[in-house]
Structure 1
Amino acid sequence: MLKAIEPMNNTLQQIIFQAMNTTVEIAFWGQKEQVPSIERRAHDWFEQVEMSFSRFRPQSELSRLNRFPGRRSTVSAPMLEILLLAEKYHQLTQGIFDPLIGKALQDSGYNESYEIVKEREQWELAPDIAIIQNKNKAGQAAFQDRVLSSTLPRRKQKIQIDLLSKSVQIPVQTEIDLGGIAKSWAVKGLAEQLHGRLGFERGLINAGGDLTVWGNSGADADPWLIGIENPWAPEDEIGILSLSDGAVATSSKLGRTWASKQGKMHHLIDPRTMAPSTSDVVQCTVSGNDVVACEIWAKVICILGREQGLDLFSRWTTGYEAFVFTEERRCYKWRSSS
């Protein structure tokens, strides 16, 4: 949902397209004649990001890196930048954000793009899946406990990054997944191009819930109005955020789900168990000044749960807000100290 005062001679221009397995929306104040060039730039940018960071493209830089764990490889400047960011947040979140979950995602069944995973579940399920899905809550908890008890402990090895040689080495028997952080990084990078390089004074970029806005902080401008998705009814908005300059990101255990022979799965892997998280949080929306930080903290709170997640969030962020939705269908709002 967008709303703002229009500068003289400019109108609100909007672009919508598919990239990185999600819908990308761009809005900016400018001239209609500028739309084609901005659309081409945005398409090219997201394509470059996918060719660097997608684990579903065999020829991507990430796929090539994952094929040689234990071997030092020279990487591009964008890959070096995002791996440094990933390791920074790995340390900051005490290991809960972990890029080395690629194998765990594959083991859970997320080894192809989500559309393919979602389609194939209908014919791959074993007959006993219906029994698992119809168990009572106690039975489901016992099933989850068996899954958790069979998984690996949190990793102790690090991604080795050499800034001088611009090379990295990932630990043996591991694979990197950069899906979430790459998407938010792409949003931030495109915003820097449109705002910083091309000079568009007001704009919005939203890629599947990773969103950044700028330029609506003047006295003559109304803020952007950003809807918060209802986790149990995605077509509805459960609240509205008023945002002038800043970012919002949402992470959810209810969105990207699929059935497997081990039961219902989702994409938020708990690195302590290398299995989908079983915390009490089903969705978290975080707002702040950096879309990458918002995306990572939303994911971390979903994985850790409300109490532990908000405790860590409070200790390492300033001026960020979190909207936490729990299994009991309650919403908690939390703001880290300024």
Structure 2
Amino acid sequence: MNTTLHQFRTTAMNTQIELKFATEQGARVRGIARFAEDWFQKTELRFTRFREVSELSRLNQRIGERCMLSDAMLEVLLLAELYRSETGGIFDPCMLGAIETCGYDRSFEQLASRLTAATGTTKLASVTMNTNAAHPQTGVQSAMDIDPGMKSVLLHAPLDLGGIVKAWSVQRLASYMMRKLAVTQGIINAGGDLAVWGAPESDPWLVAIEHPWQQGEDIGVLALCDGAAATSSKLGRRWTIGGNEKHHLLDPRTLQPSRSDVEQCTVTGPDAVTCEIWAKTICILGASEGIERFKNKTKHYEALLFGVDRRVHYCGSRSSFESASKWRGVSIDQAHWRTQT
């Protein structure tokens, strides 16, 4: 790109966050960087389940009581409820009990450190399995009663918003930078949840697609001028309990880590939150059911799936895949074309 790009990195939500942007108001570069860092730090403090003082933790301490919400929390809970409905309950924010029962009861860095210190590997010989803490409801019934007018919620099960907040924070910051901070071009990448804007078609943002089976390598490149992308995987955050390997993508129908035939999924489209939700949903449902539901529930979104059989699937429109070289260097084994309407 010919435009001068300013680069900034920070860490929040257990994620490396990278921001590159261009602005016509050069004097504001440092202020924009400080604003972005403050945004992610405050977002983590509000939504983390690993700090007792967070708003999320306070809500989880008051299960069965109606609680008042901040504007940000209300917005995220309404989005979470929308996507719970859209995915038929496969995305479920009220799975904290189940994920803790599986052993993920602290930040992953602390979990890995504790297990490695105890055993030399990321394994845990045994844990106390609290089945009463697991999500008491499955299917499409909601475990939270939101009153938008009153800005309140009544929870029936504890919340874990890690599956939506990171993408939400990226999309919210990108929108604010475009509308309020006069940032003409930018990319925000929070561990694979990303939003981009302002690049010319002749010189798009290039986003590497992580190779699912060869650590440290890329399997292709996604070229984007405007929009978003997110990748979800069952291969990254893994641990072993009593000889059983676990990962963080739980199937709400079984309250156990998904055993679907999809190991990794990248979704791209206009909105980072939608991309993140559907990448997770497809990983949990598997290729056949996930692709069918994805095609029926989304428009203008595309998905790249990596199966346990090491076959690569693409779901989207033929014209989008073949035009403008959006998916560069990507070799697919099976295409599932979306009918254009």
With over 3 angstroms needed to count, the CA separation of the structure-2 counterparts of 1:198 and 1:126, relative to structure 1, is: closer
Alignment partner, residue 164 of structure 1: 149
Alignment partner, residue 18 of structure 2: 25
* Partner residue of 2:195 out of 209, 212, 219: 212
The one-character-per-residue Cα deviations of 1:279-305 (angstroms, maximum 9, x if unpaired) are: 111100000000000000000000000
Q: Note if contact 2:98-2:135 (Cα within 8 Å) is conserved in structure 1.
A: no
SS at match of 1:5: coil
Q: Which runs of 4+ in 1 moved over 4 A?
A: 123-127, 150-153
Alignment partner, residue 14 of structure 1: 7
TM-score (norm 1): 0.86
Alignment partner, residue 325 of structure 2: none
Task: Map 1:18-57 onto structure 2 (within 5 A).
Answer: 18-30=11-23, 33-57=27-51
Q: What's the offset of the Cα at 1:190?
A: 0.8
SS at match of 2:277: helix
* Partner residue of 2:90 out of 81, 91, 96: 96
Q: What's the offset of the Cα at 1:234?
A: 3.6
Alignment partner, residue 54 of structure 2: 60
Alignment partner, residue 317 of structure 1: 298
Q: What's the offset of the Cα at 1:153?
A: 6.2
Task: Map 1:319-334 onto structure 2 (within 5 A).
Answer: 319-334=300-315
- Structure 1 Cα separation of the partners of residues 251 and 70 of structure 2: 29
SS at match of 1:296: helix
- Structure 2 Cα separation of the partners of residues 48 and 275 of structure 1: 31
- Structure 1 Cα separation of the partners of residues 282 and 194 of structure 2: 18
Q: Note if contact 2:124-2:242 (Cα within 8 Å) is conserved in structure 1.
A: no
Return 5+ residue gaps in structure 2 as ranges: 126-130, 317-337
Higher relative contact order (CA 8 A, sep 6+): 1
- Structure 2 Cα separation of the partners of residues 123 and 45 of structure 1: 34
Alignment partner, residue 70 of structure 1: 64
1:180 aligns with 2:163: yes
* Partner residue of 1:268 out of 240, 244, 249: 249
- Structure 2 Cα separation of the partners of residues 256 and 216 of structure 1: 33
Q: What's the offset of the Cα at 1:90?
A: 0.4
Alignment partner, residue 334 of structure 2: none
SS at match of 2:309: coil
Q: Percent identity?
A: 46
With over 3 angstroms needed to count, the CA separation of the structure-2 counterparts of 1:70 and 1:267, relative to structure 1, is: same
1:298 aligns with 2:279: yes
Alignment partner, residue 245 of structure 1: 226
Amino acid across the alignment from 1:25: E
1:154 aligns with 2:138: yes
Q: What's the offset of the Cα at 1:216?
A: 1.3
Q: Note if contact 1:153-1:273 (Cα within 8 Å) is conserved in structure 2.
A: no
Alignment partner, residue 128 of structure 2: none
SS at match of 2:36: helix
The one-character-per-residue Cα deviations of 1:12-44 (angstroms, maximum 9, x if unpaired) are: 111111111001000011376543212211111
SS at match of 1:96: coil
TM-score (norm 2): 0.86
Alignment partner, residue 222 of structure 1: 203
- Structure 2 Cα separation of the partners of residues 194 and 89 of structure 1: 25
Aligned residues between the structures: 310
Alignment partner, residue 83 of structure 1: 77
Q: What's the offset of the Cα at 1:56?
A: 0.7
Return 5+ residue gaps in structure 1 as ranges: 132-146
Q: What's the offset of the Cα at 1:163?
A: 1.4
Amino acid across the alignment from 2:259: T
SS at match of 2:49: coil
- Structure 1 Cα separation of the partners of residues 44 and 286 of structure 2: 30
Amino acid across the alignment from 2:43: V
* Partner residue of 2:2 out of 5, 23, 43: 5
Alignment partner, residue 107 of structure 1: 101
The one-character-per-residue Cα deviations of 1:40-93 (angstroms, maximum 9, x if unpaired) are: 111110111112111011100000000111110001011111000000000000
- Structure 2 Cα separation of the partners of residues 170 and 151 of structure 1: 12
- Structure 1 Cα separation of the partners of residues 241 and 8 of structure 2: 36
Amino acid across the alignment from 2:227: G
- Structure 2 Cα separation of the partners of residues 313 and 234 of structure 1: 28
Q: Note if contact 1:249-1:294 (Cα within 8 Å) is conserved in structure 2.
A: yes
With over 3 angstroms needed to count, the CA separation of the structure-2 counterparts of 1:265 and 1:19, relative to structure 1, is: same
- Structure 1 Cα separation of the partners of residues 124 and 80 of structure 2: 38
Please, what is the CA RMSD of the aligned residues? 2.4
